[in-house]
Amino acid sequence: MKYDVCVIGGCGHVGLPLAIVLADKGKNVCIYDTNEKSIETIKSGVIPFFEENAEPLLAKVLASGKLHFSAKPDVVAESDTAVLIIGTPVDEHLNPKFRIMKEVIDGLMPYFYEGQLLILRSTVYPGLSKRINDWFIAAGKKIHVAFCPERILEGKALEELESLPQIISSFTDEGVKRAADLFSLLTTDLVYVEPMEAELAKLFTNSWRYLKFAIANQFYMIANDYNIDFYNIYYAMTHNYNRTKDFPRPGFAAGPCLFKDTMQLAAFNNNNFHLGHTAMLINEGLPNYIVKQLKQQFTLSEMKVGILGMAFKAESDDIRESLSYKLKKILEIEAKKVLCADPYVKDACIIDEAAVLQESDIIIIATPHKQYDNLNIKNKKVVDIWNVLKQGGKI
């Protein structure tokens, strides 16, 4: 084969770091992506999103000739292994959408060949790996379908690809062996399970994190309703007390995975996941809660409100499913004007941070970027649910 690995959908947050690392390990890697603009950007040595230490390694593998690019699907047929980076989103009714995956597989079907290894890397609805395996059987192609879910933290992908265990599953023994051989280039810590066990392991992990954030947010709102600073309680709970060392701070729990995966798990269990649905109501309701509290104290219709941080998490430029934008939409109805700043995000709504700080009557720190730690904001109402300024989190 011309390529050892073809990363399908390889220009994104999950596929690109994996492609770069595998190329650095000596594999001939081809990124197949229909986004030609992203391909040209990456070929020029630029990562199109924030990822720590990625550009020096990208420059290295580009110079080595180990990383290749194509906007045409025929490279799939020239690859020993294909890694598919397309997950299962949820629709407006919080049900999984299978059509995208089916369309992609159908479109690529002519390029898959007998004995090829296909690794599904993104989160999928439980049982979808088997359905994909069945699609190949129905098409008369013996493809070794494996599900090896990514587990990286955006921005830390290069570090975590090699520091975290890799989950290995497949429907054939050969698929298990070949997937293990590939990921053993990253780590010797491999976990072997059945495909549906791997699918549920990923969904359970993200749902567990989403539930933990919801508990923190619920406790925060309870304390705030009684005019108590939650962070005094938080310190009392967590200081030198191992049983609460993993208790998160309250804040916007968002992004492209946690909410979606929690809802997929609920759908899988016939919507009998009351903890998951309650967590969704709490986490998604936090922007509304903040605005409600401000309305009780101020005449918002006469005030300008500044939002600091539009990315869904700190030190990131990713705005997918960011609750900062939900907060912005609510405030655009209630406030005189809404001003937004973020050091990483490029968006039409973003203006200079200094202008936001000067013009706003109320400042909301929505994303805990490190550069906000030393802000000196005087004579303005500040909402700091993350306690970035170490002055408490009361609204």
The number of beta carbons lying within 10 Å of the beta carbon of residue 67 is 25
Domain that includes residue 123, residue range = 3-193
Residue 391 lies in a domain: no
What would the pLDDT profile of 219-241 be if each residue is shown by its tens digit?
999 999 999 999 999 999 999 99
Any idea what the Cα angle at residue 106 is, between residues 101 and 108, rounded to 5°? Answer: 95
Query: Whole-angstrom Cα distance, residue 6 to residue 111?
Result: 12
Which of the listed residues 176, 193, 210 is the one where a domain comes to its end?
193
- In this predicted structure, the answer to whether residue 303 has a pLDDT above a threshold of 70 is yes
Which of the listed residues 126, 161, 193 is the one where a domain comes to its end?
193
For residue 217, the one-letter residue type is: N
Same domain as 228, residue 161: no
Same domain as 327, residue 210: yes
Mean pLDDT, the chain, integer: 95
- In this predicted structure, the answer to whether residue 93 has a pLDDT above a threshold of 70 is no
Residue 392 lies in a domain: no
Which of the listed residues 193, 213, 244 is the one where a domain comes to its end?
193
Q: What is the mean pLDDT of residues 126-137?
A: 96
What would the pLDDT profile of 170-198 be if each residue is shown by its tens digit?
999 999 999 999 999 999 999 999 999 99
Same domain as 281, residue 142: no
Residue 12 lies in a domain: yes
- In this predicted structure, the answer to whether residue 89 has a pLDDT above a threshold of 80 is no
Token representation of residue 274: 């009351």
Same domain as 171, residue 222: no
| SS3 assignment, position 123 | coil
Write the CATH number for 47.
3.40.50.720
Q: What is the mean pLDDT of residues 336-353?
A: 97
> Which among 270, 268, 152, 257 has a CA at the least distance from the CA of 208?
257
Asked whether the beta carbons of 17 and 151 are under 8 A apart, the reply is no
Query: Whole-angstrom Cα distance, residue 338 to residue 291?
Result: 12
- Indicate the pTM of the whole model: 0.93
Q: What is the mean pLDDT of residues 342-353?
A: 96
Q: What is the mean pLDDT of residues 75-94?
A: 86
Same domain as 273, residue 239: yes
Same domain as 187, residue 216: no
The tally of domains found in the chain comes to 2
Q: What is the mean pLDDT of residues 19-45?
A: 97
For residue 150, the one-letter residue type is: E
